[in-house]
């Protein structure tokens, strides 16, 4: 199972650059090449991505990734879910920061 965060980030990277390599995805996400491969395979099995081999001058055999119509729809859905999760995290952090500020002020007053 791929988290919404990785699903969102991978689909976003591929949409922006269909010729991106697995190594570039792994580096951009800060994950291993094996985990990247696992995530891409899972997205392909769900029908969200198509992959095609192509030849280019720099790399004898490379891949071209393309979001399927289902992939485009899933990217929109996962973007919404990911945004809601980040907003929740932000709200929790805001409360925590305010609490720490109050504790800091109170300890200075004492």
pTM: 0.77
- Residues 43-94 pLDDT 10s: 999 999 999 886 665 655 678 899 999 999 999 999 999 999 999 999 999 9
* Maximum alpha-carbon separation in the chain: 70
Instruction: Using the predicted structure, report yes or no on whether residue 1 has a pLDDT greater than 60.
Output: yes
Exposed/middle/buried for residue 13 (C-beta within 10 Å: 0-12, 13-18, 19+): middle
| Contacts made by residues 44-50, CB under 8 angstroms, sequence distance 24+ | 46/70, 46/74, 47/71, 48/11, 48/74, 49/11, 49/14
Strand partners for 50: 66
User: Domain coordinates of the chain in residue numbers?
Assistant: 4-109
pLDDT at residue number 83: 94
CATH topology of domain 4-109: Arc Repressor Mutant, subunit A (1.10.10)
């Amino acid at each position: 199972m791929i988290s919404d965060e990785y699903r969102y980030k991978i689909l976003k990277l591929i949409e922006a650059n269909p010729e991106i390599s697995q190594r570039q995805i792994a580096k951009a996400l800060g994950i291993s090449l094996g985990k990247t491969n696992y995530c891409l395979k899972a997205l392909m099995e769900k029908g969200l991505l198509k992959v095609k081999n192509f030849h280019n001058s720099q790399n004898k055999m490379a891949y071209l990734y393309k979001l399927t119509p289902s992939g485009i729809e899933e990217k929109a859905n996962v973007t919404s879910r990911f945004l809601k999760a980040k907003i929740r995290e932000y709200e929790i952090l805001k409360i925590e920061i305010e609490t720490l500020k109050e504790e800091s002020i109170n300890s200075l007053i004492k």
